[in-house]
Structure 1
Amino acid sequence: MEAILKDPAGAVIGLDFDGTLSPIVPDPDTAVVHPGAPPVLAELGRHVGAVAIVTGRPPAKVLELGPALKDVPGLVILGHYGFERWEDGRTSAPPPPAGVPRAKAKLPLLLDSLGVTDAAIEDKGRAVAVHTRRCADPEGTLARLREPLAALAAEHGLVVEPGRMVLEVRPSGMDKGHALGAFLTERSARSVLFVGDDLGDLAAFDAVRSSGLPGVTVCSGSTEVTALAERADIVVDGPEGVVALLRELTSAFSR
């Protein structure tokens, strides 16, 4: 943290969205950004080199759930694990792989064949996710779905990304670590802080470690996932703790 405080203009602040800037909820479509996040990110952006949200969500969905994020100066959203990028009001992305819509079409039939009727399917455009949080047995259903979803993904040249009561079928070749690492190089970062909460954020933690830069990893803690907390430099209590930490950081810059 010392390098960030001494040279904020060289710092990149990276953050996950769900569970980090937005509380986890049973229905992902009803998630909302923490009300304190947009103003503190805007203040943070006035001091540091760059602020980036690195998420599995499409950028358009992030902005739908947190409209005030559009007003954060200089914010970059690296969505779909870096496949899509939103910056200055514009989104850029390569064409989606053909395997994704094919897997989406087969997914309802697969769930029906397994007798899974209470899982929620989230169409993420370039990926499709199955959430079990609202199931009668969330953990048991998640376990039952692991192998069938892995087989479906492999059939269409895709991979499965596990998370907090969710399994996501998505393209390979990109993860939060690749996205963050490339962004650090692009911005000629001299230090980095990354905040995450789920298994997909481990790759970003690895990118911080392998960047060769002074880096800080922060876990937005939960009882559902402990792997990040075990590897984080700082552990805070969910999105409320993340916002409080960022406020402390901006206050330190102001002083």
Structure 2
Amino acid sequence: MQFSSMEGEHRYADLVRVADRTIVGLDFDGTLSPIVDDPTRAHIHPDAADVLVELAPQVLAIAVITGRPARQALDLGGLEEVGDAIQGVGKELFLFGQYGNERWSSRHRRIIAPRPPRGLATFERDLPRTLRLAGASDAYVEDKGLAVAVHTRRLPDPQDAFERLLPPLRSLAERHGMVIEPGRSVIEVRSPGAHKGMVVEKLAAELGARGFMFAGDDLGDLEAFEAVAELEKQGLAALRVCSASQEQSALLPLSDVVVKGPAGVVSLLRQLRLDIMQSSARG
């Protein structure tokens, strides 16, 4: 764990002091789970489940906020079982899928989701031609139900393909009333309006939080970082954690703490639990 500044260290200490009223928010891919070529095999770090269950009694709630479909994240993360264990100690695990369009919790046990956006079907109809014209016909297209993700990681030059695809996909999305969300070798197309920052704001208000920590790794987490900063202006303890990689550095200047990938996130959560317990013991 590396603090970006003395301010970051102070924010961490403030968060520890109000831990019992703090929400711990976490991205999935690149934060709880390593980035892999096949997104259907992105299982969370082997120690993550135990660490989340151990941390839960010390904080207000834990929330996983991801661009993935909720069902997929539940299955890949074993999060229903994690939720059972967290519920068993009197706390709640929240999961927000597809940037907040889907919601699940360990208390209510069902996924609440809207209908697919109106422009999605026509976007998908025109997508193959756009990929072909950009020389990226072999890009992996993931249908998320409420969104479509175009992955370039499996292509010979992932970064070059990503940069070639970004302008035409943005143009195509706009024609169908959709927006794009660039990530690490992936461009997601979804309906406008929902983003991770909205989840942060609404959950903090719903639970009456006095602190909020969010850990993420790429551009899709930018709005969540901005929302956490806004909560700090409102008087909450706030901590922004970057799960750093060589592929993406956009969050680094905004971060209070920098760790190395999912293993670093797990270590941070473990240390957070210990520091909270020590602070409580001191009274």
TM-score range, shorter chain: over 0.9
Matches for 1:110-189 after TM superposition, within 5 Å: 110-189=130-209
Contact 2:115-2:146 within 8 A present in 1 as well? no
The AA in structure 1 aligned to 2:28 is: F
Q: Whose radius of gyration is greater, 1 or 2?
A: 2
Higher RCO (CA < 8 A, seq sep 6+):
2
- Which deviates more, 10-19 or 65-74? 65-74
2:73–2:79 contact (8 Å) kept in structure 1: no
Tell me how far 1:69 sits from its aligned partner.
4.8
* 1:234 and 2:257 are equivalent in the alignment: yes
**Are the counterparts in 2 of residues 161 and 200 from structure 1 also a CA contact under 8 Å?**
yes
Question: Secondary structure at 1:108's aligned position in 2?
Answer: helix
CA contact (8 A) 1:4 1:10 kept: no
Q: Does 1:199 align with 2:185?
A: no
- Which among 42, 66, 69 is matched to residue 55 of structure 1? 66
Correspondence 1:18 to 2:44? no
User: After TM superposition, what 4+ stretches of structure 1 lie above 4 angstroms from structure 2?
Assistant: none
SS in 2 for 1:248: helix
Unaligned runs of 5+ in 2: 1-11, 87-91, 279-283
Which secondary structure does the structure 1 equivalent of 2:142 belong to?
strand
Counterpart of 2:6 in structure 1 is none
Task: Give per-residue Cα distances to partners, 1:107-150, cap 9 Å, x unaligned.
Answer: 22321233313211111111001111111111111111111111
Given candidates 78, 83, 99, the residue that maps to 2:119 is: 99
> Separation in 1 of the partners of 2:254 and 2:135?
37
Task: Give secondary structure in 2 for the equivalent of 1:90.
Answer: coil
User: Residue 154 of structure 1: SS of its match in structure 2?
Assistant: helix
**Contact 2:23/2:213 (<8 A) preserved:** yes
Deviation at 1:205, TM superposition (A): 0.6
Aligned to 2:47: 36
Matches of 1:65 and 1:105, distance apart in 2: 29
In structure 1, the residue matched to 2:237 is 214
Q: Which of 8, 15, 18 does residue 19 from structure 2 map onto?
A: 8
* TM-score, normalised relative to structure 2: 0.87
Amino acid at match of 1:84: E
Cα deviation, 1:142-198, whole Å, max 9, x if unaligned, reads 111111111211111100100111111011011111111111111111011110000
**1:161 touches 1:169 (CA, 8 Å); kept in 2?**
yes
- Partner-residue secondary structure (3-state), 1:207: helix
The aligned length equals: 255
Are residue 80 (structure 1) and residue 98 (structure 2) matched? yes
Q: Offset of 1:241 from its aligned partner?
A: 0.2
Q: 2:3 maps to which residue?
A: none
Task: Tell me, yes or no, if the aligned pair for 2:43 and 2:77 is still in contact at 8 Å.
Answer: yes
Q: Which amino acid aligns with 2:244?
A: G
In the alignment, the residues of structure 1 paired with residue 23 and residue 79 of structure 2 have an alpha-carbon distance, to the nearest angstrom, of: 21
Q: Secondary structure at the match of 1:218?
A: strand
**Aligned partners of 2:217 and 2:80: how far apart in 1?**
20
Tell me the TM-score normalised to structure 1 length. 0.96
Counterpart code for 2:259: V
Contact conserved, 2:66 with 2:99, CA < 8 A, in 1?
A: yes
**What are structure 1's unaligned runs of at least 5 residues?**
none
The amino acid of 1:14's aligned partner reads G
How far apart in 2 are the matches of 1:38 and 1:122?
26
